Amino acid sequence: MSEFDEKAATWDDYPDRIKRAEVIASRLASAVNLTVIKTAMEYGSGTGLMSFALKDDIREITLMDDSAEMTKVARQKIIDQKVTNLIAVHGDLLKGPLRNERFDFIFIVLTLHHIGDVEELLRKFHNLLSPKGQLAIIDLEKEDGSFHDDPFHGHKGFERSDLENRLNYAGFVPAYYEVCYHIEKETEKGIREYPVFLMVAEKK
Ligand SMILES: C[S@@+](CC[C@H](N)C(=O)[O-])C[C@H]1O[C@@H](n2cnc3c(N)ncnc32)[C@H](O)[C@@H]1O
């Protein structure tokens, strides 16, 4: 069982996570014209907090996560709330073959810093997007490593210029950047605030 499998059943019990998804969703809706999007994918969707917050703004969203338990929780919420425009899929784009679908929009929330091969995932996103498709990355700005408890093997947030270079290399044009949220967290050094950015890039 993965770390996220273990957290899935109680993931939505924290009101700050729900508030965070709602605030970020509203920032995203201001930065991207969601009304023209026909198909979207949320990658690393967890229990679907962000997609649920956007379900009335986007016609159809595929949620994908490599945690079977997170996917199970998302699916149950879709059934319980009788939502017809969200579908939850268990999968890892880095392991499976390329999917046939094309999406107008892909968004990824606080997941990229858990991905070892960021370049490869950006290339996969590029392949999955329709011409002129858009990618929104929401993640931590560069931090000192105090955000996660040990052992953590991911990235300590991202520097804007570094991520822009990686996006360019993968075939995207970075188009928008803002700090859209601050996560407050109790650390060994007291309560800290971690800025979260929203970056939007267009497929070249
Ligand atoms: C910090 S959680 C964020 C969940 C959700 N986006 C949210 O904001 O509530 C990171 C999520 O990414 C998923 N994840 C991690 N590595 C992944 C991968 N290689 N492929 C797909 N999902 C992954 C985890 O299972 C987890 O659900």
- pLDDT score, position 149: 85
112 CA to centre of ligand 1 in angstroms: 8
186 forms beta bridges with 191
The ligand 1 site (C-beta within 6 Å) comprises 4, 17, 44-46, 49-50, 65-67, 70, 92, 94, 109-111, 114-115
Query: DSSP letters along the chain, please?
Result: --HHHHHGGGGGG-HHHHHHHHHHHHHHHHHS-GGG-S-EEEES-TT-HHHHHHTTTSS-EEEEES-HHHHHHHHHHHHHTT-SSEEEEE--TTTSPPPS--EEEEEEES-GGG-S-HHHHHHHHHHHEEEEEEEEEEEEBS--S-SSPSS--S-S-B-HHHHHHHHHHTTEEEEEEEEEEEEEEEETTEEEEEEEEEEEEEE-
In this predicted structure, the answer to whether residue 189 has a pLDDT above a threshold of 90 is: no
Q: Any residues with CB less than 8 A from the CB of 45 and at least 6 apart, and which?
A: 51, 63, 64, 65, 70, 74, 88, 109
Q: Give the mean model confidence (pLDDT) for residues 7-19.
A: 98
Per-residue model confidence as pLDDT tens digits over 101-148: 999 999 999 999 999 999 999 999 999 999 999 999 999 999 999 999
pTM above threshold 0.85: yes
The model's confidence at residue 99, banded by pLDDT at 50, 70 and 90, is: confident
Here the CATH number for the domain that contains residue 14 is: 3.40.50.150
Please give the tally of structural domains in the chain.
1
Residue of minimum CA distance from atom 8 in ligand 1: 109
Residue of minimum CA distance from atom 12 in ligand 1: 44
Token reading at 65:
């996560």
From 22, 122, 130, 114, select the one nearest 70 (Cα to Cα).
114
- Placement of tokens 């069982």 in the chain: 1
Is the torsion defined by CA of 62, 66, 72, 74 positive or negative? Answer: negative
115 CA to centre of ligand 1 in angstroms: 9
One-letter identity of residue 140: L
Atom of ligand 1 nearest to the CA of 93: 20
Structural domain range at position 131:
3-203
Tell me how crowded residue 158 is: count the other CB atoms within 10 A of its CB. Answer: 21
Task: Name the residue of 1, 75, 111, 123 whose CB sits within 8 Å of the most ligand 1 atoms, as the mutation to test its pocket.
Answer: 111
In this predicted structure, the answer to whether residue 175 has a pLDDT above a threshold of 80 is: yes
Task: Name the residue of 14, 61, 65 whose CB sits within 8 Å of the most ligand 1 atoms, as the mutation to test its pocket.
Answer: 65
Per-residue model confidence as pLDDT tens digits over 60-97: 999 999 999 999 999 999 999 999 999 999 999 999 87
